[in-house]
Structure formats: C-alpha cells, structure tokens
C-alpha cells in the first residue's frame, strides 16, 4: 500500500492548492438536493483528483461527493471528499479538510486527511499513521470519566436523538462541540480522547479509518460494527478499546 499512499499524497498535495486559492476569496455557492452547500472549489478539486487517479490507476473505481461513481464493480475503489466541511470553508473557518481513501473489497486500506489551511497531512498505509511524516499514537485514556470528548453534529443529534444528546453532554471529563474530520484526526494524534459523530456519508468517514486505527485507536459505527459503504453514518472514534466500549455503552443507553 505504500506505493499507492505515496501516489495519492502527491496527487492531493497538488490538489490542495485549489481550495487554498479560493479560500476566503468569495465563491459561488449552490445547494444540492439535501440542502448541503457546494462550491466551485469542491467541484474543481474533486475533478482534479479524479483525473489524476484515473491516469495513474486506470483500473480502479472512484466514488466521490460531487460526481457520479465510476467502475464500482472493481475490487479497488478510491473514495474522495474534496472539501470536508464546505460550510467551514465558505465561512472562512480554516478547519476544512480533504479526504481520500483507497478501498479494497469495500474496506479502507489507506487514508489521507489533509488540512490545507493548517499545513497538516495525516496519512496511513494501514500499518502506521503519520502527521507530516511523524508517527502518530493515540492517547492511553481508558475511562470515559477521564476523557476529552468531541461531539460532532451536535445540533442534529439534539434534534433527532435528544436522549442521546443529554447523555453525551454528561459524558467525559470535558466536552466540545465540533464538525467535520478534524476532531477524529486529533484523536489519532493523541490530543482528543474520543469523537462522536452523526449523519455522515461514506466519503466523510472511510478515509479516517486507517488513520485512527493505525495510530492505535478504534473507530466504528454506534453499534460497534466496522465502517463501510453501507454504514448508517453514525460514527464513534476513541483512543483505546476500553474507552470505545464505554462510549458504545453510553450511546446505547447503558
């Protein structure tokens, strides 16, 4: 996988210049059918990544946020979120990311999380996880009462699952509300102990899986099942197996 990782790191290094060029410059915004915003930066970035992948890996499929899937019957598929956190991007918040993963038989085997405005690149070949080339390791926290917990998409959880929201707000040593990929990357880096997320699409979470797990963490759906293309978009990442299980128990009402 290292050759594939090196290739996608080169591709995304070139691609991240596109959102940086548009960031805080004012961009045209349209809304998709689900009312999520999309910009010329999203489409231009994904188009660049798709073309570069197709040139280097012509037999691989591609699944992206902005354009139709290609070659979905192949064993290897790339999954792309060109700008994870479009609302952050269009409002000038520098915590938008660029996510790419390679799937083998539907399971992510390598992942890249770029933070173009921060100059940070989280990457995993499935065996090790790095930040700008330095090896990452999750924290050693095992008890939920000692954990720094990030709650992503808190407004949606509060609206749809008020009981879960109440439990989340009583969980952990400290809590913060957030969005998008960066809190999960901070789990891999050992700064955050856990992140609970909700209502995601596969391109939002599959690139995170190799990064979190290779750093020593655990990431799954809220039922503890492995994440895949058919997952329901409820995601929890944690620094240790014990903390992960405690979060699952809490989410399920225990």
Q: pLDDT by residue (tens digit) across 18-64?
A: 999 888 887 666 666 665 667 888 899 999 999 999 999 999 999 98
Q: pLDDT by residue (tens digit) across 239-253?
A: 999 999 999 999 998
- pTM as predicted: 0.93
207 within 8 A of 108, measured Cβ to Cβ: yes
**Rounded Cα distance, 17 and 218, in Å:** 31
130 pLDDT tier (thresholds 50, 70, 90):
very high
Residue 235, pLDDT > 60, answer yes
What CATH class is the domain 2-135? alpha beta
71 pLDDT tier (thresholds 50, 70, 90):
low
Phi, psi of 108 (to 5 degrees): -70, 130
Same fold, 2-135 and 144-251: no
179 pLDDT tier (thresholds 50, 70, 90):
very high
76 pLDDT tier (thresholds 50, 70, 90):
very high
CATH assignment of 144-251? Answer: 3.40.190.80
Q: How many CB atoms lie within 10 A of CB 140?
A: 13
Q: How do the domains of the chain map onto residue ranges? A: 2-135, 144-251
Q: In what order do the strands lie in the sheet with 174-178?
A: 174-178, 148-152, 194-197, 235-238, 218-221
């Amino acid at each position: 996988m290292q050759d594939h990782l090196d290739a996608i790191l080169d591709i995304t290094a070139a691609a991240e210049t596109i959102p940086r060029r548009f960031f805080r410059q004012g961009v045209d915004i349209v809304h998709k059918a689900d009312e999520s915003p999309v910009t010329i930066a999203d489409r231009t970035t994904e188009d660049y990544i798709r073309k570069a992948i197709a040139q280097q890996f012509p037999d691989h499929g591609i699944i992206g946020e902005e354009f139709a899937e290609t070659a979905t019957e192949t064993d290897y598929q790339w999954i792309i979120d060109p700008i994870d956190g479009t609302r952050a991007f269009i409002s000038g918040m520098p915590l938008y990311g660029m996510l790419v993963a390679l799937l083998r038989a539907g399971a992510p085997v390598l992942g890249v999380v770029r933070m173009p405005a921060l100059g940070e690149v989280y990457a995993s070949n499935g065996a090790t996880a790095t930040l700008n080339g330095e090896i990452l390791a999750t924290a050693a926290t095992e008890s939920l009462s000692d954990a720094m917990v990030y709650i992503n998409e808190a407004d949606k959880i509060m609206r749809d699952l008020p009981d879960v929201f109440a439990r989340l707000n009583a969980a952990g040593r400290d809590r913060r509300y957030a969005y998008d990929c960066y809190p999960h990357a901070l789990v891999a880096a050992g700064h955050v102990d856990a992140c609970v997320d909700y209502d995601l699409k596969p391109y939002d979470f599959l690139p995170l899986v190799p990064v979190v797990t290779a750093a020593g963490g655990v990431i799954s759906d809220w039922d503890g099942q492995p994440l895949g293309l058919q997952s329901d978009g409820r995601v929890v990442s944690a620094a240790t197996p014990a903390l992960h299980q405690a979060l699952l128990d809490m989410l399920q009402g225990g």
